[in-house]
Amino acid sequence: MTDSPTTTTPRAEPAVSSDIARSRPALPSLTGARWWAAFAVFLLHALLFLPVYPFQKSELFRRIHFFMPMQLGAAGVTFFFVLSGFIIYWSFRPGSSVPRFYWRRVLKIYPSHLIASAIFIVVASVPLHRLVVWVPNLLLVHTWFPKSTTVGGLSVPSWSLASEMLFYFTFPIVLPLVRRIRTDRLMRCAVALFLFILALHTAYFLFVDGPKGIENAFAARLVGGNVSPMFELHSSPAWFARDDIPVAPAYWLSYNFPLSRLPEFFLGVLAARMVLEGRWTNIRMAPPLLALALAYAATWVVPVNYKMSALLLAPMTAVVATLAARDLRGIRGVNSSRPMVWLGNVSFAFYLIQFPVMVLITRLFIGGRQFGWPGWLGFAALSLVVSTLAGAALYHWVDLPLMTRFSGKRSRRTSENSLAATSEKPDGKLDEPAPASVDALPTGRTVP
C-alpha cells in the first residue's frame, strides 16, 4: 500500500474530496477478476459436494483436500465482500433516492437467488413443510442464527447474500461519515479498520466456544460404504429432517455472521476513495499478489477464526485497489479481455446455480455407482460447464432484462431522502450528478 499524494499542491487543510463529481470509467479488470474468485469457490464445492465414492475416501482425496481447503473458497468470498464495497462506492450516483438505491440492490440479488433456490428445492426434494429449512434462506436472514439448520439449510452458497443485504442497507446510512474522512487520513482509517477486524476475530478466538486448533473445520461429510450416495449430506433428506444442527459459535461469528463481515465491505469503500482521490498509486500486481500468496500460505498454521478472511483482507484489498488503478491508467491484461469480462458478469449467477447443478448431477449420474479420481474429475468438469451455461442463461434472460425494465435511469432528485442530500460539500452545495455512464458500471453484486 502507498499513501503518497499524486500532486505537490499544499495540503495544509485537506478537505473532503468531491470525487463523486468526477468521471468514473468502467473497471474491466475488476469485472474479469470476479470470475477467479467464483471459480475458487466452485473448486472447493466440487471437491466436497460431489460425493464420488470411493474417491472421497481415498488418500489421494485427502492430499488434494489439503491443498484445496476451506480457505480456498473463503478467499473468494472475502474478495467479493471487499469488491462489493469498492464498486458500490465507485458506481454511487448522487441524486438517487435511498429507496431507489435499495430497490436496485434488491433487483440485483433476489430474482436470481429465488430462481436458484427454487431449482434447488426441486432437485433436492426439500420438504416444504419444514419452514425452518427454507423460509429464512429465501428471506436472506438465515445467517443471523447460529444453527446449521438455517445457515446451511437450503442452498449452501446463498449464505453470503445475507451479509450482502446488510452491506447494502448500511451503505446510505454510513456514507456521510465515510465522506467526511479527510483525504490524507484515508489510509490511516483503512489500517485502523483492519486492526479492528483482527481484534474482533481475536476476541472470538479467545472468548467464544469453537475450534482452537489449526485444523480445517470444513471437510467432506462422508457416509458408510464405498458406493456413492444419492445425496451429499447438505442436500440429503436426513439433513432437512433434523430439528437442530448446531454450529460452533466462534466459526459462525467469524465466517457467517453478517455484522462480523460488515467491516470488510467498508474496507472496500475506503479503498475506492483512495483510488479515486489519488491516495493509491501502485499499479504493479506483483507486490499485492505476492503478499496475498504469503497470507494464504499462512492460513494453514492459524486457527479457523483467522483462516476465513482476517489474514487475507489486507492483501486482498490491495489487489482490488491495484486492479482498479491499472484500469484507470489504461493498462490492460487477461482480466480485462472480453471473455473474462463476460465470465465476470455471469459469475454471480454461476455462483448461485453451481450447488443445485451438483445436486442434480449427483442424482442423475453419481449416486449408486463407484468412481475413482477420473470420475470425479469428469463430473467436476461437467458441473463447471453446466453451471456456466445455466449462469449465463440466468444472467442474460433474468438479470439484464429485469435491470433494464425496472431500473432505468431517472432524473436527478433533490428530495430529503436523497443520498446526495447527505453528502454536502464544504461550501454547502450538493455534489453534481455523476455521468450517466456510471450507471453501467458493475454494481457490487458478489459471489461468495
Q: Whole-prediction pTM value?
A: 0.86
Burial 196-228 (b: 16+ CB within 10 A, else e): ebeebbeebbeeeebeeeeebbbebeeeeeeeb
DSSP 39-89: HHHHHHHHHHHS--TBGGGSHHHHHHHHHS-HHHHHHHHHHHHHHHHHHHH
pLDDT at position 340: 98
Query: What's the rounded Cα separation, in Å, for the pair 315 and 289?
Result: 7
pLDDT at position 154: 84
pLDDT at position 94: 72
- The DSSP code for 408 is -
pLDDT at position 352: 97
pLDDT at position 276: 95
Across the chain, which has 448 residues, the per-10-residue mean pLDDT values are 40 40 78 98 96 96 93 96 97 82 93 96 92 90 83 84 97 96 97 98 95 81 92 89 84 95 98 96 97 97 92 98 97 96 98 98 98 98 99 96 73 39 34 32 36
- Evaluate whether 333 touches 29 at the Cβ level (below 8 Å): yes
pLDDT at position 408: 55
- Evaluate whether 114 touches 138 at the Cβ level (below 8 Å): yes
For 244, the grid coordinates are: 437442530
pLDDT at position 407: 64
